[in-house]
Amino acid sequence: GGPGAGVHARVDAVEAPDPAEHGPGAPAAEECDGDGAGPDGPAFEVIYLLEADDRAVARLRTRLDALGDSLVVVGGDGLWNVHVHVDDAGAAVEAGVEAGRPYRIRITHFGLGDAHTGGGRPPRERVQRAVVAVVPGEGLAGLYSEAGATTVLARPGEPPVSGELVEAVRRAHAREVVLLPNDADLRHTAAAAAEQARTEGIRVALIPTRSAVQGIAALAVHEPERRFDEDVVSMTSAAGATRHAEVVVAERQSWTMAGICQAGDILGLIDGDVAVIGADVTVTAAAVLDRMLSAGGELVTLVLGDEAPGAIAEHLEARVRESYLAVDTMVYRGGRQGALLLIGVE
């Protein structure tokens, strides 16, 4: 697999066994999903959203770390996404109850092999539906995986090729796949991958997400139990209702819609066009956010790159709280994602 092949997630879809899927042409089962849940690994994957304060979450991390492996806890400001592989699913949920209020709890049994398969895994049944998403950094890959998506990592300056997307669609092992390219420049690559997957008998819908924040909005309304076209329409409209921006460092002098920028300037791009040119990351980000919120909005999503200034999230959250009543802010850490900051407003 290409970048991100180690990140593997199951979707909470109806898992109906279909003997026809396992003829000679069926892909061989993956022996290991690269997530520590081999034959001797933990039996359950536990995922939930959690409302809790930072101190309680720090204690929760320690407890879950002792219970199992593949622990990922992301979020902030009282709302967290928790993902862990454990043998005692009850204890993992109980730890969440002690820390705060867990909800949308999902427990998946890894279906370890029985005597007939000699301890290895049985061939994995095709799930009904999966989401495959291109993400710009490891931090977001973790977030998307917890939301049930199979991810393809796009490193700065290295966009994935269509073969990597096809590979991820196969890895998702589903009859129906929703594809989120999360980048306007990947539209043709994703369309080619979707076409190839269709020739292999997989039903694929390509949602034209132009940013990872639009993908987050689409994933938030994804419901595998709904009819495929209804799910796709709902995800597409959630993505379309999310305006996206990014704050980046200019690499060279160029003409933009906001004037001439020099190398090293801080650029704020809204919906793909340069809207603000500044010298300071936080000031530029605040100007971008003000422009976006002047048109209305209920939820701001901030995805911080690892080179963003330390206090930028607190500064922007305080600004939203003080100037825009009834607007919520979610903050995620994106890691090495190219942009200093991604912003979504829905």
| d(C-alpha 262, C-alpha 80), whole Å | 39
List, for residues 189-219, the tens digit of each pLDDT value.
999 999 999 999 999 999 999 999 999 999 9
Predicted pLDDT of residue 126: 74
Q: Which two tokens stand for residue 44?
A: 């359950």
CA–CA gap between residue 318 and residue 84 (Å, rounded): 32
3-class secondary-structure state, position 114: coil
Residue 339 CA to residue 182 CA, distance in Å, equals 14
pLDDT at 24: 39
Nearest 10 degrees: Cα torsion 50, 56, 62, 65? 0
DSSP 207-237: ----SHHHHHHHHHT--TTS-HHHHHHHHHH
Q: Which CATH number applies to 126-240: 3.40.50.10440, 3.40.50.261, 3.30.360.10, 3.40.50.620?
A: 3.40.50.10440
Instruction: Could you list the beta-strand ranges (E) of 24-159.
Output: 44-51, 68-76, 79-86, 101-109, 127-135, 149-153
In the chain, which residues have pLDDT < 70?
1-40, 110-125
| pLDDT value for 3 | 42
- The rounded distance, in Å, linking the Cα atoms of 63 and 74 is 16
Residue-range domain boundaries for the chain: 44-112, 126-240, 243-345
161, with CB counted inside 10 A (0-12, 13-18, 19+), is middle
Strand ranges for the chain from DSSP E: 44-51, 68-76, 79-86, 101-109, 127-135, 149-153, 174-180, 203-206, 243-249, 254-256, 259-261, 266-270, 273-278, 299-305, 328-335, 341-345
What kind of fold does domain 44-112 have according to CATH? Alpha-Beta Plaits (3.30.70)
Strands 149-153 and 127-135: parallel
Q: What is the pTM of this model?
A: 0.65
* CATH class of the region 243-345: alpha beta
Instruction: State how far the Cα of 180 lies from the Cα of 297, in Å rounded to an integer.
Output: 23
pLDDT digits (tens, 9 = 90+) for 45-77: 888 889 999 999 999 999 998 888 888 888 777
pLDDT at res. 203? 94
